[in-house]
Structure 1
Amino acid sequence: MKPLFYMAAAVMIAVALALLLLPLLRHGRQAGRPRSLFVLMLCIALVVPIGAALLYWRIGTPVALNGVPTQTQTITDVNKALDELRAHLAAQPNDVQGWLLLAQADMDMQQPDQARDAYEQVLKLKPDNTTAMVGWAQADSTASPDHHISDRGRALLERAVQLEPDNQRGLWLLGISDFQQGRFAEAASTWRTLQPMLQAGSTVAQAVAQQIAMADARAGAPVASSSMAAPPSSGPALQVNVSVAPALKAKLAAGDTLFVYARAKNGPPMPLAVTRLDARQLPATVTLTDAMSMLPSMKLSSVPRVVIGARISHSGNAMPQAGDLEGDGGTVDVDSRTPVKVVIDKVHD
């Protein structure tokens, strides 16, 4: 039943993509674009999801390794279609819809660098194209090792939401950018703007509600106590004791921010859990949990081991900067109940 389910899902996705592309095709026909391009666009819309399902069915199922790899022809067809689209764009570089189609196909094929380049072409032709603005920010973030939304990506998101206030993907990513920068109240506010646009009770609406609750909790975190207790949880709860080496105490200044984090031992540098405190609270004890993740898909419980660290930022910026003070607590199991000791004893170059 599972293979049939995956194929049915792929067909549904293909139909949905085709329906989305039909208005583009009608517009292109009216603009006098060649019929071959329309056929190519529909082929990509149909072949990519069905090909993905075949790949998962064959490669994602270990027992299928004993069979004949029938996905080869599908891969060839997808690559041929993309090559034809690129050839078309080389001949007609001003085709905005063609670049948008290529960008989406590159994202579907997990090639965010190429997708970003395609969206860049759209922005050169149509600087106020909101699809390209949001797509560029997402592709750039996906291509980044820490999935951080860059300054340019954020500027594009802000512009897209200004031009199109009901742009759901733009609002979601803008909230993530706020969260990544430690602007938790702003993140919650942005996601609350998005909430009424979502279908009540849907998976997306539930995920947004969870992120709002998390942002609210982080925005209202107490800063007057030198200790943060762990909320009741059946998941990971890593207790971290943070102090500053005597030689660096003189470098502390009013307004400094303490970040305590855990990141995957083998993975992107983006924290799986992070909390911030007023550095004047040092020495401090914090407990890192799944509730402190920056993204729903990247939590402590998603990996077996993490690297624990702490950093004092003079600017309050979540990204490391020269002059910040740092400490390393080493690598621990996420289910460890032994307190981790971190001494901040280095200056970031």
Structure 2
Amino acid sequence: MIDFWLAAGLLLLVALSFLLIPVLRSRRAQLEEDRTALNVALYQERVAELQTQQEEGVLDTAQMDVGRAEAARELLADTEGVAAPRVTRLGKAAPLLAAILVPVLGLGLYLHFGASDKVELTREFSQAPKSMEDMTQRLERAVAAQPDSAEALYFLGRTYMTQDRPADAAKIFERTVNLAGRQPELLGQWAQALYFADGKKWSDKIQALTDEALKADPKEVTSLGLLGIAAFESERYQQAIDYWNRLLEQLPADDKSRIALQGGITRATEKLVASGGKVAEAPVTKVAALLKVRVDLAAELKARVQPGDSVFIFARATSGPPAPLAAKRLTVADLPATVELGDADAMMPQLKLSNFPEVQLVARISRAGQPTAGEWIGRSQPLASSTTAPQKLTIDSPDK
């Protein structure tokens, strides 16, 4: 903060200079005015002496005129170059008073409306925290400085959970939901914090939160893991196995938590068998989706495109996230072309073709190379993601 206040001080000095320069100039003008008044007084005194000498007969009329002219020339020489005094209604006190009030008022307004706390937080976050407590304190100050920041609240809630402070985390996640909306991930985090804050006691509120989260996103990982834990604690081992298997499908192959999750499934299986139960067979794994599509350009458009224009071919869910599920990139020079879109082309591991029952095929020409906006486009009718028959797609419409 020292460099900030130094910069502010320099700017303040510049501002004060505009107020004090007129005061200094007025003092100089006053000195010049006083000197002019003295010269006029001396001139008048000289003329009075000449008149006295004339009355006494020492000077005749001609000598009197010469003496008066000489005195006038001296007065003119002494006052030459002196500007006429400027008349001001403010006086000298107003600029001096403004010079004092402006910085005081500016400082007060900055302390009230300014963002010095945010500047300091920015400087702090530019450096690595020394400990988890240090990170927590920074996040708490960030939330205090930006109470409407859902992102700051979310990270503070996650930090509280890692510090075994679920009650504090539950309050923070509730505020986050109120700010950012009832997003599935936030609902799952809130439910998890409430569960551990209540000593691992299930409640209607926790059930409602997890139900809402999984209804919006059946693959919401926090809710799946929490429901598995709750089922295991209440000796509902088959349900625990089911929830954890669903969670296991969502985790990347290199996720370190897969080992612990698989261990939980094993323990639940052992307890289920020991209690005389039988593990239900896991559902058949879905076959990876693979769509084959032949893309061509309408004849009337061939003269209006260039060989180097980009062609983006992708599949997106008809009911789901707008992001492409699988995509390929070609050029106009490659058309017509046959491409395959499958789970291996997924933009994100959670967004695979096989995870959505119905999709739409889209091909877009973009001279600027932007996949989200272009000049020409072609769209297919909705089709099942499990379709195996080759599809045809023609680019024939303006991209609006």
Q: Which has the higher contact order (CA 8 A, sep 6+)?
A: 1
* Bucket of the pairwise TM-score, normalised by the shorter protein: 0.3 to 0.5
- Using the size of structure 2 for normalisation, the TM-score is 0.35
- Using the size of structure 1 for normalisation, the TM-score is 0.39
Rg bigger for which structure?
A: 2
